[in-house]
Amino acid sequence: MPRWLLILALFLLSCADPPTPRAPEPEKRPASPVVVEAPTPTSEQVPVHADDPSLGPKTAPVTIVMWSDFQCPYCSRVKPTIQKLRARYGDQLRVVWKDLPLSFHKYAREAAVVARIAYLERGNDAFWQMHDRIFDNQSSLSTDSLVAMAADAGIGSGALETFRAEAEARVDRAIAESQALAINGTPAFYIDGQLISGAQKLEKFVAVIDAHLAKAKELTAQGVAPGDLYAALVKAFWEAPVAEEPEPEPPIDPTVWEAQVGAAPVRGPKNALVTLVTFADFQCPFCKRLATTLAQLEKEYPGKLRFVFKDKPLSFHDQAMPAAHAAREIRKQKGDDAFWKFHDAVLAAPAKLTDGDLETYAAAIPGVDVKKVRAAIDAQRYDGDIDKDVEQAELLEVSGTPHTFVNGRSLSGSQPLAKWKLLVDEELAKAEAKVKAGTAPEKLYEETIKGGKMLRPLDLKVPADAPFRGGAKAKVVLQVFSEFQCPFCRRFARVVPDATDTGTLERLEKRYGDKIKIVWRDFPLGFHPRARAAAAFAREAKKQKGLATFWKVHDELFDLAGVLDDEKLEELAKRHGIDWVKARAAIASGVHDAAIDADQQAGTAAGVTGTPATFVNGRLVSGAQPDSAYIKLIDRALAKK
């Protein structure tokens, strides 16, 4: 058996809890989920599988195998280097992708899984298209933005569910291979068995590749077949990896958040020394794993812990919302004990949830009227209550599930039991000291989280001269930090002919009319060379011809799809009666730079790192999110007195 396969097998047999915690962790899957396809061509030391995403022909004389992380800024920085190498070497170079999502990058693993799902659903090209989308939108990654990117690529919630287990398995396989090669950071490259660590300059890659091409020519002349060339080159350049000491586990964040219990279901005594508030989704595989861990904690700390459940159903789990409605109806009928029986049954179930499953689990609880449970699901009776939990989750910066606050301290994902015990022990010691000092146990939690952290809407002032449309005195204001060369901004702003289900802003305006006010704020990104010129041109259009012309220019700039040279701007100026000579002079002289810079500074101060970024009455929504993300915030704001 090849050495790498033996190591992989040992890893898969011992990975109930990975050595490096990450959030969220993969769901336990049926035995032997990894389909290792025929080698393509491969080597014992640095394996390449037929199902590894790749660029370039399999018969290329030089192969780069790269381990990367979608949320790593250095991996993003090396992306253009790979593009330049492919342009330089053409069919002489093959590039193979391997996943190595790092534990401290919150969305790296989910991004890796979504990209692998794209591969499984639509093939190699779809993976690389998703790869580019994710890196281009790296600054605003979230669970919702990844779902939106997948949908934009034609990959729906069904595929995300169907292919998830296999995608997780392939990510785990790549991680196992990185561990066998002692790779601890990203990006890391094995060029025919020769290691290059980090985002090195183009010249370093060129020097190595040129040397390998010369060796490949020599081996070919000696009669090595194309299918055997990769293994022969790896053997020629191979150096055994040197294991490095792993970095120590960082301490758990001491920040206390104001995670209120409210009217949520509770298990455990009111005077418990430690309260755990968990935001979860009944269909989430990671929540299933956490439920087992929390049950173990309850056994090991009898009478000392209180457990609180909060709803955060995820949009791509089709049974999560029905399950949340069912659980709330069961609680209304029979109280907290019945709720927790249903909770435990659903999260212990190994199979995918169906409507029938929910009714079966409800019927197993004595005294529950199943017809009323079904009616509650059909009527979506508890939408308002569930939304209150979701809103609280947003204020506490909860983006995925599960997410737990232990006496207000945040712990994301399904972490190993030892990590939970460490945090619980720390909080128990603090709580015991407070009780000894005179704090009543039943008031302990509220006093612990009092004044804790919570996101509150920013008081983001609208400049007097900012372009806007909609109701001038509307109750809800959307301040959109955007730029004209950003493809995500374009698809967020406009219904364009080459894409489907885009144009969120246009749809919101149609839905709400003068009930909302949409404000444009400039945020040109440095790597888009014509973004600032386009921003200045749009401001000059407003100055010369007024607000209505600004919005016409706004729409048509986006319609140009990033082609914003002077020739295109001049055509646009003529079409709308704008004096092009004055406009060109305004762009060249920087007349509008102060206003553009003021917008950019305000956005940066408010936490904007990429575009588009929208503040709905001061609440930030990063990236081009689904319509529902904005509708939810707008409806809440309109409903408030």
CATH number for position 375 = 3.40.30.10
pLDDT for the residue 24: 35
pLDDT for the residue 380: 94
Query: Are 385 and 483 contained in the same domain?
Result: no
pLDDT for the residue 39: 54
User: Residue 30 pLDDT more than 80?
Assistant: no
User: Residue 34 pLDDT more than 90?
Assistant: no
Look at residue 584 and give its three-state secondary structure.
helix
Query: Are 134 and 100 contained in the same domain?
Result: yes
Query: Are 177 and 326 contained in the same domain?
Result: no
Find tokens 């804790």 and name the residue. Answer: 452
What is the average pLDDT value for the chain, to the nearest integer?
88
Number of neighbouring beta carbons within 10 Å of residue 253: 12
pLDDT for the residue 341: 97
Could you tell me if residue 508 is inside a domain? yes
Query: Are 600 and 488 contained in the same domain?
Result: yes
Going by pLDDT thresholds of 50, 70 and 90, the confidence category of residue 18 is: very low
Contact yes or no for 331/369 (Cβ under 8 A) = no
pLDDT for the residue 112: 96
Look at residue 97 and give its three-state secondary structure.
strand
Could you tell me if residue 419 is inside a domain? yes
pLDDT for the residue 456: 81
Listed residues 198, 220, 237: the one ending a domain: 237
Query: Are 576 and 507 contained in the same domain?
Result: yes
Listed residues 386, 417, 449: the one ending a domain: 449
Could you tell me if residue 207 is inside a domain? yes
Query: Are 546 and 430 contained in the same domain?
Result: no
User: Residue 151 pLDDT more than 70?
Assistant: yes
Could you tell me if residue 155 is inside a domain? yes
pLDDT for the residue 41: 74
Find tokens 């439920």 and name the residue. Answer: 291
Quote the number of domains for the chain.
Answer: 3
pLDDT for the residue 105: 86
* Eight-state DSSP code of residue 248: P
CA 553-555-557 angle, 5° bins: 65
Q: What is the pLDDT of residues 255-291, one digit of tens each?
A: 999 999 999 999 999 999 999 999 999 988 889 889 9
Alpha-carbon gap, residue 589 to 584, rounded angstroms: 9
Could you tell me if residue 509 is inside a domain? yes
Check residue 193 and give left, alpha or beta (phi > 0: left; psi -120 to 50: alpha). left
CA 416-422-428 angle, 5° bins: 135
* DSSP string computed for 336-358: HHHHHHHHHHHHH--SPP-HHHH
Going by pLDDT thresholds of 50, 70 and 90, the confidence category of residue 158 is: confident
The residue among 70, 19, 89, 42 whose CA lies nearest residue 190 is: 42
pTM given for the model:
0.61
Q: What is the pLDDT of residues 59-93, one digit of tens each?
A: 899 999 999 999 998 999 999 999 999 999 999 99
pLDDT for the residue 17: 27
Going by pLDDT thresholds of 50, 70 and 90, the confidence category of residue 2 is: very low
Q: Which residues, 6 or more positions from 549, have their beta carbon under 8 angstroms from its beta carbon?
A: 541, 542, 576, 577, 578
- The first and second tokens of residue 603, run together, are 């956005």
User: Residue 35 pLDDT more than 80?
Assistant: no
Provide the greatest CA pair distance for the chain.
85
Contact yes or no for 545/577 (Cβ under 8 A) = yes
Could you tell me if residue 401 is inside a domain? yes
Query: Are 377 and 480 contained in the same domain?
Result: no
Distance of CA 430 to the CA centre of its chain: 34
Distance of CA 575 to the CA centre of its chain: 41
Alpha-carbon gap, residue 335 to 332, rounded angstroms: 6
Going by pLDDT thresholds of 50, 70 and 90, the confidence category of residue 19 is: very low
pLDDT for the residue 1: 42
Query: Are 567 and 610 contained in the same domain?
Result: yes
pLDDT for the residue 289: 87
Alpha-carbon gap, residue 620 to 624, rounded angstroms: 12
Choose the weakest-confidence range: 173-187, 198-212, 487-501, 558-572.
Answer: 487-501
Query: Are 494 and 598 contained in the same domain?
Result: yes
User: Residue 5 pLDDT more than 50?
Assistant: no
Helix residue ranges, H only, 560-605:
566-575, 580-589, 593-605
Listed residues 416, 449, 482: the one ending a domain: 449
Number of neighbouring beta carbons within 10 Å of residue 26: 23
Could you tell me if residue 454 is inside a domain? no
Tell me the mean pLDDT in the region 385-402.
90
Contact yes or no for 48/77 (Cβ under 8 A) = no
pLDDT, greater one: 285 or 569: 569
User: Which range, 10-19, 63-72, 150-159, is most confident?
Assistant: 63-72
pLDDT for the residue 351: 67
pLDDT, greater one: 598 or 487: 598
* DSSP string computed for 516-549: EEEEEEE---TT-TTHHHHHHHHHHHHHHH-HHH
Could you tell me if residue 337 is inside a domain? yes
Tell me the mean pLDDT in the region 546-565.
93
Q: What is the pLDDT of residues 211-256, one digit of tens each?
A: 999 999 999 999 999 889 999 999 999 987 766 565 566 788 899 9
Q: Which residues, 6 or more positions from 317, have their beta carbon under 8 angstroms from its beta carbon?
A: 157, 161, 281, 282, 283, 284
Alpha-carbon gap, residue 80 to 620, rounded angstroms: 30
Alpha-carbon gap, residue 409 to 423, rounded angstroms: 9
Query: Are 27 and 112 contained in the same domain?
Result: yes
Going by pLDDT thresholds of 50, 70 and 90, the confidence category of residue 32 is: very low
Tell me the mean pLDDT in the region 25-53.
62
Percent of the chain predicted with pLDDT > 90: 67
Query: Are 564 and 432 contained in the same domain?
Result: no
Query: Are 201 and 70 contained in the same domain?
Result: yes
Choose the weakest-confidence range: 229-233, 491-495, 633-637.
Answer: 491-495
* DSSP string computed for 249-304: PPPPP-PBB----TT--EES-TT-SEEEEEEE-TT-HHHHHHHHHHHHHHHHSTTT
Count Cβ neighbours within 10 Å for each residue of 586-617 and write b for 16 or more, e otherwise: bbeeebbeebbeebbebbeebebebbbbbbbb
Look up the domain containing 212 and give its range. 3-237
